[in-house]
């Protein structure tokens, strides 16, 4: 058993005084390209990473659900019959929100036995690698198994999203849970966020001598507040003014008309989403026909669009991206919702250390806190371990 699995078993035993009956896990994700396109019903191309959230689960016979985490001190618990979004607080709203959301999707929560959960993770929290979807997806798969609910993975992704939207109160899209549940080694998940149809697209990074370097700036973001919600509102306003159901219904050919109808800020928000959707399609095309060495300029263009049009970057992310690009990266961009978190760079394996040294030096020179850097590989989605 790996260290983290031993830790989660030990943590479960300490919290509940008995051994768990099973272990499930789900990965964090990196979004290769397609940012803020998910809630606009467009395209995204995330991949599951080799950092996972592990859930140990055991039965209890009092109809209650207990959750504990290495991340927090207290054990939270509630009667399954009392699960409701307004009764859930703090980090426990993620796992308990999933239990509630399973009921919203048709599970008969009056008929399921009580359970205890203990959660441990190697996905950094708040870094834009979606520790939130990792915890939701691991819990959703675990409860789906032990409660014998029979939901398929796309439905479990919706369950996680519902928990995050209603129990946590973060208006996020379906991308992260889809990556955590549908990911596959050496593949990205190409997801149409309108139809929810997904295809695995081979990345071939290792074969091309490439690695993905994550640069976690350490700048904390929060989805439940501020910028994320206001960007969403701008997108809705843009779609309404242009009389389309969502920005998905626009292409780059619609942009001249959009410019005449929208104020400058809303236009730039719309232009980001429309061009980003096209970049996702182009990235998938190039991966399939030319391979990963051909996608760098699309990653670079995505970053510029987020920096200038969607205005969700921060100086630390810009510096990480520019320094990577100047030191041999094939392409680089911020990833995740923005306002902090991480950037990714697609880097030749033999150039990783040079880029890391350059980024460390640039951050020190600008007086920024030291970033955390590590490589990730495209990995399998949620599983019973």
Query: Site residues (CB under 6 A) for ligand ADP?
Result: 53, 69, 71-72, 91, 94, 119, 121, 125-132, 135, 223, 336
Widest distance between CA atoms in the chain: 66
Is residue 177 a contact residue for Mg ion (CB under 5 A)?
no
Chain residue at closest Cβ approach to Mg ion: 132
- Contacts (CB under 5 A) with Mg ion, residues 31-90: none
Burial tier of 212 (Cβ tally within 10 Å: 0-12, 13-18, 19+) = buried
Active-site residue, from 176, 216, 300, 309: 176
CB 84 within 8 A of CB 104: no
CB 207 within 8 A of CB 128: no
Nearer Cβ to ligand ADP, position 3 or 253?
3
Is residue 132 a contact residue for Mg ion (CB under 5 A)?
yes
Q: How far is the CB of 227 from ligand ADP (least distance, A)?
A: 13
# of chain residues touching Mg ion (CB under 5 A): 2
Whole-angstrom Cα distance, residue 337 to residue 35?
Answer: 7
Decide which of ligand ADP, Mg ion, none touches 91; Cβ closer than 5 to 8 Å per partner kind.
Answer: ligand ADP
Query: Is there a catalytic annotation at residue 176?
Result: yes
Which one of the spans 88-96, 124-132, 151-159, 211-219 is the region binding Mg ion (CB under 5 A)?
124-132
Q: How far is the CB of 191 from ligand ADP (least distance, A)?
A: 17
Is residue 178 a contact residue for Mg ion (CB under 5 A)?
no
Burial tier of 214 (Cβ tally within 10 Å: 0-12, 13-18, 19+) = buried
Nearer Cβ to ligand ADP, position 169 or 204?
169
CB 344 within 8 A of CB 215: yes
Q: How far is the CB of 361 from ligand ADP (least distance, A)?
A: 27
Nearer Cβ to Mg ion, position 55 or 112?
55
Nearer Cβ to Mg ion, position 132 or 234?
132
Decide which of Mg ion, ligand ADP, none touches 94; Cβ closer than 5 to 8 Å per partner kind.
Answer: ligand ADP
Q: How far is the CB of 105 from ligand ADP (least distance, A)?
A: 21
Q: How far is the CB of 132 from Mg ion (least distance, A)?
A: 3
Whole-number CA gyration radius for the chain: 21
The residues of the shown chain that bind Mg ion, judged by CB under 5 A, are 130, 132
Please identify every residue annotated as catalytic. 176
């Amino acid at each position: 058993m790996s260290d983290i699995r031993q830790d989660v078993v030990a943590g479960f035993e300490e919290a509940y005084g008995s051994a768990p009956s099973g272990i499930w896990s789900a990965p964090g994700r990196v979004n290769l390209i397609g940012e803020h396109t998910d809630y606009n019903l467009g395209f995204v191309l995330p991949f599951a990473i080799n950092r996972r959230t592990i859930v140990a689960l055991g039965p209890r016979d009092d109809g209650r659900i207990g959750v504990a985490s290495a991340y927090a001190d207290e054990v939270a618990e509630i009667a399954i019959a009392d699960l409701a979004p307004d009764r859930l607080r703090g980090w426990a709203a993620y796992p308990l929100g999933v239990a509630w959301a399973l009921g919203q999707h048709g599970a008969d929560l009056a008929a399921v036995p009580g359970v205890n959960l203990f959660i441990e993770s190697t996905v950094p929290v708040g870094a834009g690698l979606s520790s939130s979807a990792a915890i939701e997806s691991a819990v959703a798969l675990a409860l789906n198994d032990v409660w014998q609910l029979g939901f398929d993975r796309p439905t479990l992704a919706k369950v996680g999203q519902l928990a995050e939207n209603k129990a946590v109160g973060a208006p996020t899209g379906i991308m992260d849970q889809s990556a955590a549940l549908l990911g596959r080694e050496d593949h990205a998940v190409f997801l149409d966020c309108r139809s929810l149809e997904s295809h695995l697209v081979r990345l071939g990074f290792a074969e091309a001598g490439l690695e993905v370097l994550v640069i976690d700036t350490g700048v904390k973001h929060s989805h439940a507040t501020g910028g994320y919600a206001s960007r969403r509102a701008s997108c809705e306003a843009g779609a309404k003014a242009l009389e389309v159901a969502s920005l998905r219904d626009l292409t780059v050919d619609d942009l001249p008309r959009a410019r005449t109808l929208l104020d400058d800020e809303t236009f730039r928000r719309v232009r980001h989403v429309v061009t980003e959707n096209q970049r996702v399609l182009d990235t998938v095309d190039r991966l399939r026909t030319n391979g990963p060495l051909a996608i760098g300029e699309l990653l670079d263009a995505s970053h510029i669009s987020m920096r200038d049009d969607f205005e969700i970057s921060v100086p630390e992310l810009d510096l990480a991206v520019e320094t990577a690009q100047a030191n041999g990266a094939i392409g680089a961009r911020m990833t995740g919702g923005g306002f902090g978190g991480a950037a990714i760079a697609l880097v030749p394996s033999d150039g990783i250390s040079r880029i890391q040294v350059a980024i460390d030096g640039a951050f020190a020179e600008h007086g920024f806190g030291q970033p955390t850097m590590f490589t990730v590989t495209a990995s399998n989605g949620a599983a019973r371990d």
